[in-house]
Amino acid sequence: MSKLWGGRFAQTTDQFVEQFTASIHYDARLYPWDIRASIVHCRMLARQQIIRQEECDSIVHGLQQVQKELEAGQLPFRESLEDIHMHVESRLKELIGPVAGKLHTARSRNDQVATDLRLYLRDQVDQLQDGLRRMQGALLDLANQHVETILPGMTHLQNAQPVSLAHHLLAYMEMLQRDRARLRELRFRINQLPLGAAALAGTPFPIDRHWVAEQLGFDGICRNSMDAVSDRDFVIELAAACSLIMLHFSRFAEELVLWSSPLLSFIELPDGFCTGSSIMPQKKNPDVPELVRGKSGRVFGHLFSLLTLMKALPLSYNRDMQEDKEPIFDTLDTVQGSLRALTELIPGISVHKENMLQAAAAGFTTATDLADYLVGKNIPFREAHEIAGRMVRLCIEQNCTLDNLPLTTMQQIDARIDSDVHPLLTLSASVNARRSAGGTAFAAVREALAAFAKSLESESMAGL
């Protein structure tokens, strides 16, 4: 089969080279955006009187027919046609004849693929935004049920201070909020039009790039033709944002795995998101969170792959850049799948409140409250810290908790301790003492949940 670029060549392309260089097996997914951009480009050519209106009409009608065939799975893919752009143009030529060749006036595959990719990624960013908002909504619903459920807050995986489970879940909601903010920011940088840069130097034809940008919903145009076709920093930036999303997913998944273990038994995951063992009948394995945790490494690897791909490329376009699509496509597929899995899992989580409360009572999690009490007695915090530490050591020796340590015993260590200390050493008192903005007190948590609910509702109404 003759190539659309074959005039320069006297020999046919080696069959292995065709297979080695073809990208149709993965860039076929770009066809809706390729055809959309081609239609707008064609209409611009007619608008600028670069081609005749009747030629434009024929080309647009042909492109619409090609899209219908692709949607119906009726257009066979051939490695000899290399990529989705050549498949579309080749089929267009079969449908309408040589006039199809006028579509490629004033453009190159270099700016064409950059445009298709930006359009595709823009839509993916919008889908991720919507999905992350739904996951926040699922976390919000769960958190609203557990404002007064207390579990041990940990540092170093050691019991630290008691916290509200809702407060713990709000931490993940904040992470997702920052993920969404990053997506909003990078969407603007993705949403710049490369089309019109042609191969690398622009075009002598009197095109109207700003009109094309407006028609395709771009925020602006890439201002330098070489930069437009030769950089993929927008791909790398999205891969980095996706890596952070997966990092947050992985941390949440890790806690689901730990919490659902019989060693803690804080929660039970829904059966539909777990599997059993082929040999041990009693097992209920948290496979979905484990896979999300594992898939994070895959996404991180794609980010490094993209960075390595671009690090030494001279200006402008190089064929190496064909290798940008598989990593970013798989990254987005992985993040979207993980997002759906976690969002649909969250409503099915059963919380074992008593087990969480019992765990929060272990490890002297109210020791800081004792130190804070002593500070209220005008004792410097460092001295108060020392006294509280001695109390903990005494409790360990006597196998009791701080709130059960007799007042007389406490007063032997420091006489300034009075009978008002014990009510402050309960778990609920400890939690509710943290009334500072962003703290875990029940009232503060309810305020935070209400603010989040209001924010999500307004964003949904605004279509953000």
Same domain for 178 and 314, yes or no, is yes
Does pLDDT of 3 surpass 90? no
Does pLDDT of 367 surpass 80? yes
Question: What are the Cα distances from residue 255, in Å, to 260, 269, 292?
Answer: 8, 12, 12
User: Could you tell me if residue 252 is inside a domain?
Assistant: yes
Task: Work out the pLDDT band at 4, boundaries 50, 70, 90.
Answer: low
Does pLDDT of 155 surpass 60? yes
The CATH number of the domain holding residue 408 is 1.10.40.30
Same domain for 246 and 376, yes or no, is no
User: Could you tell me if residue 129 is inside a domain?
Assistant: yes
Same domain for 224 and 332, yes or no, is yes
Same domain for 191 and 336, yes or no, is yes
pLDDT digits (tens, 9 = 90+) for 13-62: 778 887 887 888 889 999 999 999 999 999 999 999 999 999 999 999 99
pLDDT digits (tens, 9 = 90+) for 381-412: 999 999 999 999 999 999 999 988 999 999 99
Residue type, 363: G
Does pLDDT of 1 surpass 60? no
User: Could you tell me if residue 154 is inside a domain?
Assistant: yes
Give the structural domain span for 91.
15-105
Same domain for 307 and 320, yes or no, is yes
Please tell me the least confidently modeled range out of 5-9, 22-26, 241-245, 309-313.
Answer: 5-9
| Predicted local confidence at residue 464, as pLDDT | 65
The CATH number of the domain holding residue 29 is 1.10.275.10
| Predicted local confidence at residue 378, as pLDDT | 94
User: Could you tell me if residue 457 is inside a domain?
Assistant: no
Please tell me the least confidently modeled range out of 18-32, 96-110, 154-168.
Answer: 18-32
| Predicted local confidence at residue 216, as pLDDT | 98
Query: Residues with catalytic annotation?
Result: 156, 277
The CATH number of the domain holding residue 290 is 1.20.200.10
Average pLDDT over every residue of 331-337: 98
Residue that terminates a domain, selected from 59, 75, 105: 105
Which of the pair, 273 or 10, is modelled with greater confidence?
Answer: 273
Average pLDDT over every residue of 328-340: 98
User: Could you tell me if residue 195 is inside a domain?
Assistant: yes
User: Could you tell me if residue 453 is inside a domain?
Assistant: no
Same domain for 92 and 240, yes or no, is no
Of the chain, the percentage scoring pLDDT greater than 90 comes to 90
Residue that terminates a domain, selected from 332, 358, 384: 358
Same domain for 271 and 330, yes or no, is yes
Same domain for 177 and 54, yes or no, is no
User: Could you tell me if residue 322 is inside a domain?
Assistant: yes
Same domain for 207 and 91, yes or no, is no
Number of domains composing the chain:
3
pLDDT digits (tens, 9 = 90+) for 405-454: 999 999 999 999 999 999 999 999 999 999 999 999 999 999 999 999 99
Same domain for 314 and 259, yes or no, is yes
Does pLDDT of 462 surpass 90? no
Same domain for 336 and 204, yes or no, is yes
Average pLDDT, the chain: 95
Half-sphere exposure of residue 434: CA atoms within 13 angstroms, side-chain side? 20
Same domain for 236 and 162, yes or no, is yes
Reported pTM: 0.93
Does pLDDT of 296 surpass 70? yes
User: Could you tell me if residue 45 is inside a domain?
Assistant: yes
